[in-house]
Amino acid sequence: KQEVTQIPAALSVPEGENLVLNCSFTDSAIYNLQWFRQDPGKGLTSLLLIQSSQREQTSGRLNASLDKSSGRSTLYIAASQPGDSATYLCAVRSGSNYQLIWGAGTKLIIKP
């Protein structure tokens, strides 16, 4: 059974730092992995989608990597800003029914 873990559950860093958020999954047979952002009291916004054949995807200051063999993905945020404060969730699509399996998220706080 696929399980997705995000550690740490919360992270606080000063503005301007580069940082890495982690996502691990137990079954390497995945179709793709997605990173989402959730602002307080809001829904989720898709940030990046990495297909299983890809190693990384980039969007602006965000870079997501995927290492299927080790069951890990990282979301790198460059030059963090207070506006990056949010909860970041990763989700893996796997299984015969293409189910999305979610991590519990990492709550990120960027201090001005």
Partner 1 sequence: ETGVTQTPRHLVMGMTNKKSLKCEQHLGHNAMYWYKQSAKKPLELMFVYNFKEQTENNSVPSRFSPECPNSSHLFLHLHTLQPEDSALYLCASSQDYGGSSGANVLTFGAGSRLTVL
- Give the nearest distance from C-beta 74 to partner 1 in angstroms: 19
Nearer to partner 1, 71 or 105 (CB): 105
Cα 71 from Cα 75, distance rounded (Å): 14
- CB 18, min distance to partner 1, A: 26
CB of 105 to partner 1, least distance (A): 8
Q: Cβ distance 59 to 66 under 8 Å? A: no
Task: Decide whether 15 or 49 has the Cβ nearer to partner 1.
Answer: 49
9: alpha, beta or left, given left = phi > 0 and alpha = psi -120 to 50?
A: alpha
**Contacting residues toward partner 1, per CB under 8 A:** 4, 9, 31-32, 34, 41-46, 49, 51-52, 89, 91, 93, 97-105
Contact 76, 94 (CB under 8 A): no
Give the residue with the Cβ less far from partner 1, 10 or 78: 10
Q: Which DSSP helix (H) or strand (E) runs through 49? A: strand 44-51
Structure tokens at 8: 């740490």
Q: Which is nearer to partner 1, 52 or 63 (CB)?
A: 52
Minimum distance between the CB of residue 34 and partner 1, rounded to whole angstroms? Answer: 7
- What distance in Å separates the CA atoms of residue 49 and residue 54, rounded to the nearest whole number? 10
